[in-house]
Amino acid sequence: MLLIPAIDLKEGQCVRLRQGRMDDSTVFSSDPVAMAEHWKDQGARRLHIVDLDGAFAGMPRNGDLIRQMVSAMGDVPVQVGGGIRSQPIIEAYLDAGVQGLIMGTKAVNDPDFLRSMATAYPGNILLGLDARSGVVATEGWDKETGIDAQDFVRDLSDLPLAGIVYTDIDRDGMMQGLNVTSTLALARAAQLPVVASGGVTALGDLQALKEAFAEDTTLLMGAITGRAIYEGSLDVAAGQALLDA
């Protein structure tokens, strides 16, 4: 189980949003490459990058910057989301050394495309599933789909996906703790490894996650954390040590 630091990119800066609202962002660094190196130095074993501009534009907007960040991480795996909606984009990121490609909007709108890409690139594609009150949202969390998140994942267990990044939008950036119950329910519905996201605030959240998945350890890849590690309520090394224990 991994504690995965998140770097969200907006206009070339490292920011954090509240509940996915682009007009409610906090800038934490103007040097995302240095920030990536910082989390590597803190012991991160994987890095999560989101191209926020790309998520809203429907295509990458910080590609060059992300390539620099991947290079700076060396042999530490990097997963990227935001605007990944075509095969050429996937191939370009893989060529740049990105190991995990997170497909959200395109996967929800075109499940057949998700299936074809997961089959073409086994172990490299993650489904990015973002939900508000259990209902899937797309287009940078701006559009409600009316699709129940658990219903959507039930038919995906046969795919060679690397996993599912599941974000509870209501908790994201709010420092209110994970929605452990819905994360476990989604993992069991999918029967695929899940990365929990949205609300990781302190060590207690990671402990609660571990306990919830005690009988389903193969279904938990880890947890993404953002605002908490930037504001100091969670230490990356301590969090990873707890998950390792």
Residue 126 pairs in a beta bridge with 102, 163
Which residue in the list 8, 51, 172, 205 is annotated as catalytic? 8
Give the whole-angstrom CA distance, residue 152 versus residue 74: 35
Handedness of CA 225, 226, 228, 234 (dihedral sign): positive
Structure tokens at 68: 């620099």
Give the whole-angstrom CA distance, residue 218 versus residue 65: 33
Helix (H, G, I), strand (E, B) or coil at 98: coil
Residue 155 is a catalytic residue: no
Per DSSP, which regions of the chain are E strands? 2-10, 13-18, 21-29, 47-51, 78-81, 100-103, 125-132, 135-138, 143-148, 163-168, 194-197, 220-225
| Residue 47 phi, psi dihedral angles, 5° rounding | -125, 140
Structure tokens at 195: 């990365």
Which residue in the list 51, 130, 168, 205 is annotated as catalytic? 130
Identify residue 150 by its one-letter amino acid code. Answer: Q
Is the CB of residue 132 less than 8 Å from the CB of residue 169? Answer: yes
For 109-139, b/e burial (b = at least 16 CB within 10 A) is eeeeebbebbeebeebbbbbbbbbebebbbe
Residue 64 is a catalytic residue: no
Structure tokens at 150: 């658990």
Give the whole-angstrom CA distance, residue 188 versus residue 185: 5
Catalytic residue numbers read 8, 130
